[in-house]
Chains A and B, each alone.
Chain A
């Protein structure tokens, strides 16, 4: 007997702008009202297509995270990084001496 999986009752008709706004917050993205409406529409369409996966009974199927069996890879805990600090900082949008500089965090 296949284990019944919990499938939330989320279908394309039910995806709301508020939910999309919540996902945007999780993703550190912002959409204005027009963009949000459009994004909600396309996400609903894409998720609607993905919903066809529900047709399949996968109760006893193990998930695949990697196509090939992968083993944990270990190495000695030794310093191997030869990057010079200056080289790493070359791409910094803002820096102060040997540090990345960001807007004030503490008032």
Chain B
């Protein structure tokens, strides 16, 4: 059974279809591995053994009845800010420690229909605010490749769980890089879809104009399979876009001949790890050898993306998180004589430091006298960043960049300097501001510390098919030893 742990969704699905193995057997095996090794990794906040086995038995019945499907009977892990009815959704915060979801998110209903099995809820930065998983109320999650290293964040648990062989795929959410950055640092594939492609109904809101749910997996094909299941219009999310969902499997393995790949000169900046840059150049030359054309492009407002993001995301967060006041759900302080005191004490005792910091930045940026200078100013620069991409995609189909400026950093290395931590998202935040899709693909390992490196590909709005084409091409062209390597637990 040990040989199933690093199999792809595709391969598990084939074994299930041929009745070589049951979903219950696969699920039991993963649960066993989680039980044995997650003490060291801490990738799960909640392991839902009973629900998982119930899902698995249901899937086995459907398979026995002749049903087929790429996710039928396949176990997945879900980031702990996506609601599953009857299961605790903590957002890795004390304030939601005991919150039991009264309904399931749209993506969960879609995955249930597809027959997926939910193994549990994964660790993350509190309210998805962080790039290292260190702000979790439930303790830091560790990088399976090196337990001294962070897994990245905020979807650190979802990335680490896949990398550790606890599940073949997971869901994360990406507000400024929270799927792509941890996926890169853990050596897996992570996709942030176009804003509006996947419903946010049942996703706990951080920054509503930026948040998007997406898949994390071993391969590009598996990424497409999960996206296929969760994408689509949902009237319950007013920003969900009613466009037909293409058959993403058709875009895989099409080859990159004639495709134009842009490399933004502003991303090849000083301070970026030399091997991260070499990975981009290596990917470019391999794609070029298969008939893609490489162009240097310019995204002149790149340096403003972090400051814009750290106005807009905290501003939206300060508004979204005002609902946590201890009245209807969540943590309520026992201190306080009156209602106003109860609000303040519940929030002060319930939120962690980073969440408070972002609420403070956001409240400041939205406060009277500063609204124009910070919030409106940031929204205007957001327009300039979006226009940069519009112009760039007039010249190229795909933009190729490093996913992160460096491989995973050490636990504790950046916690004392929030700004330094924020800058680790420098290559990922722009895609959220512009609403475009982005994918990260494993591209090698640091020669210094053996930690994974990723390359990122960005496409224009609704350009997921182009991303899958280019990413699956690169996946085949890269050094085959990259996908053969697994961490030792």
Contact = CB atoms under 8 A, between A and B. Distances in A.
A7 interface: yes
B330 interface: yes
B344 interface: yes
A29 interface: yes
A27 B241 contact: no
Nearest to A82: B103
Given A5-B373, A102-B342, A63 B327 contact: no
B372 A28 contact: no
Q: How large is the interface on B (under 10, 10 to 19, 20 to 34, 35 or more residues)?
A: 35 or more
Interface in A1-47: 5-8, 10, 20, 23-24, 26-31, 39, 42-43, 45-47
A5 B341 CA distance: 38
Contact of B373 (A6, A75, A90): A6
A67 B433 contact: yes
A102 B339 contact: yes
B310 A66 contact: no
A63 B357 contact: no
Contacts of A30: 344-345, 348
Contact of B239 (A28, A70, A87): A70
Interface in B334-358: 336-339, 341-345, 347-348, 351, 356-357
B438 to A, nearest CB: 13
Interface in B350-399: 351, 356-357, 359-361, 363-364, 367, 369-370, 372-374, 376-384, 386
A95 B311 CA distance: 37
Contact of A28 (B322, B382, B434): B322
A93 B329 contact: yes
Contacts of B329: 91-93
A7 B370 CA distance: 8
Contacts of A50: 307, 310-311, 374, 378
B100 A90 contact: yes
A65 interface: yes
Interface in B258-299: none
B369 A46 contact: no
Nearest to A61: B380
Contacts of A92: 328-329
B70 interface: no
B359 A27 contact: yes
B209 A58 contact: no
Given A53-B377, A61-B384, A29 B307 contact: no
A93 B435 contact: no
B409 interface: no
A39 B357 contact: yes
Given A23-B367, A47-B364, A93-B329, 6 more contacts: A7-B377, A43-B361, A64-B379, A68-B196, A91-B102, A103-B338
Interface of A: 5-8, 10, 20, 23-24, 26-31, 39, 42-43, 45-47, 49-54, 56, 58, 61-68, 70, 73, 75, 83, 87-88, 90-94, 100, 102-105
Interface of B: 98-100, 102-103, 194-196, 209, 235, 238-239, 241, 301, 303-304, 306-308, 310-311, 318, 322, 325-332, 336-339, 341-345, 347-348, 351, 356-357, 359-361, 363-364, 367, 369-370, 372-374, 376-384, 386, 418-419, 422, 432-436, 461
